[in-house]
C-alpha cells in the first residue's frame, strides 16, 4: 500500500457468526483488511474458508455480527438500507462467477441496467453501455442474449455492466470459475488493464494462478485472514 494512499476498504475485527440451531458457526474471525485506492488484491482461500461471506460484507450485501467496516470513509454499519442501496449502485461494481446476466435482455440492455436504476436517460445509458462493450471487444454482440454468447463473452458483458457506472471499487467473486483457461486469461488481462486505469479491484478466488497475477494476496482460512506480499 502506497504511503498516503486513500483507504477505500477498512475492516476492523469483523466477526460473522451463523446460528445453526443451538450451534454457533464462526465464519469470519477477527478479520482486518485495508485496501487503498487503485489497489489490485486477491482474497485467496479454499471452499468454506469464509471468502464468499467476506465478499458479501465488503459489497454491503450482508452485515457482520460484530466489528467495523468503513467504505471510502463511511461507517457502513450505521448506514440506512437506502444508503446501502445507493452505495451498491454507485460505489461498487459486482462481477460474479455465474455472470448473473438477465436471460431475456440483450448484452447492451444488461449493461444499461445500473445506469437506468440511477435515473440516467435511456439514450445516454444505451450509448455508455455500447461504449463499454465496444472497449471489451463486443461491439458485434450488442443485441445478443446471454444464451447466444460464449462463457468468455458473457463474462465480458458482466464486466462491462460492473464498470458502466464508473464505480470506485470492483468486487469479483470467482470471476474465472466458469471459464476455460483462454477465457480466464483474457478476463485477467481485462482486470489488469482496468487496474492500470485506476480501478480498485478485489478478486475473491480459490485459484492460486489467478491470485498470483494481482499485486497483493490476502489468504483466508477458517475465517482468519493472513496477509502476504
Q: Give me the CATH number covering residue 101.
A: 3.40.50.300
76 occurs within a structural domain: no
Residue 60 corresponds to which cell in the numbers above? 454491503
Q: How many other CB atoms are there within 10 angstroms of residue 174's CB atom?
A: 20
Tell me the residue range of the domain where 202 lies.
Answer: 39-62+85-228
197 occurs within a structural domain: yes
pTM for this prediction: 0.88
pLDDT at 1: 46
The secondary structure of residue 65, as a DSSP letter, is S
Alpha carbons 200 and 92: distance in angstroms, whole number: 10
Q: Hey, which residues does 66 pair with through a beta bridge?
A: 15
Alpha carbons 23 and 188: distance in angstroms, whole number: 40
pLDDT at 181: 84
pLDDT at 180: 82
Half-sphere exposure of 174 (CA within 13 A, CB side): 17
74 occurs within a structural domain: no
Alpha carbons 145 and 137: distance in angstroms, whole number: 16
In terms of Cβ atoms closer than 10 Å to its own Cβ (0-12, 13-18, 19+), residue 61 is: middle
Helix 151-163 to helix 122-135 angle (10° resolution) is 130
11 occurs within a structural domain: no
What are the phi and psi torsion angles at 173 (to 5°)?
Answer: -100, 105
- Say if CB 109 and CB 165 are below 8 A apart: no
204 occurs within a structural domain: yes
Report how many domains make up the chain.
1
134 occurs within a structural domain: yes
pLDDT at 87: 87
189 occurs within a structural domain: yes
pLDDT tens, N- to C-terminus, the chain (229 residues): 445 578 999 999 999 999 888 898 899 999 999 999 999 999 999 888 888 899 999 999 899 999 999 998 889 999 998 888 888 888 899 988 788 899 999 999 999 998 998 899 999 999 999 999 998 889 899 999 999 999 889 988 999 999 998 888 999 998 888 778 888 888 888 899 989 988 899 999 999 989 999 999 999 988 999 876 4
Q: What angle do CA 120, 87, 131 make, to 5 degrees?
A: 40
Q: Hey, which residues does 217 pair with through a beta bridge?
A: 42, 228
Q: Residue 130 contacts by C-beta under 8 Å, 6 or more apart in sequence?
A: 108, 139, 142
Amino acid at each position: 500500500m502506497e504511503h498516503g494512499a486513500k483507504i477505500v476498504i477498512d475492516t476492523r475485527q469483523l466477526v460473522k457468526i451463523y446460528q445453526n440451531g443451538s450451534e454457533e458457526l464462526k465464519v469470519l474471525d477477527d478479520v482486518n483488511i485495508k485496501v487503498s485506492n487503485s489497489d489490485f488484491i486477491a482474497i485467496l482461500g479454499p471452499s468454506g474458508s469464509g471468502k464468499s461471506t467476506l465478499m458479501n460484507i465488503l459489497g454491503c450485501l450482508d452485515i457482520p455480527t460484530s466489528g467495523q467496516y468503513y467504505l471510502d470513509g463511511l461507517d457502513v454499519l450505521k448506514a440506512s438500507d437506502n444508503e446501502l442501496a445507493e452505495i451498491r449502485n454507485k460505489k461498487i461494481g459486482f462481477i460474479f462467477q455465474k455472470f448473473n446476466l438477465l436471460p431475456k435482455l440483450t448484452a447492451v440492455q444488461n449493461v444499461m441496467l445500473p445506469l437506468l436504476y440511477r435515473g440516467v436517460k435511456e439514450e445516454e445509458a444505451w450509448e455508455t453501455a455500447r461504449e463499454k462493450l465496444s472497449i471489451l471487444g463486443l461491439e458485434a454482440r450488442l443485441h445478443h442474449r446471454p444464451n447466444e454468447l460464449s462463457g468468455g463473452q458473457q463474462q465480458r458483458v458482466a464486466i462491462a455492466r460492473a464498470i458502466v457506472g464508473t464505480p470506485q471499487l470492483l468486487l469479483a467473486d470467482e470471476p474465472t470459475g466458469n471459464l476455460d483457461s483462454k477465457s480466464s486469461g483474457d478476463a485477467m488481462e481485462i482486470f489488469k488493464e482496468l487496474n492500470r486505469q485506476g480501478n480498485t479491484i478485489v478478486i475473491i478466488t480459490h485459484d492460486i494462478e489467478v491470485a498470483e497475477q494481482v499485486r497483493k494476496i490476502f489468504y483466508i482460512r477458517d475465517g482468519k485472514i493472513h496477509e502476504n506480499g
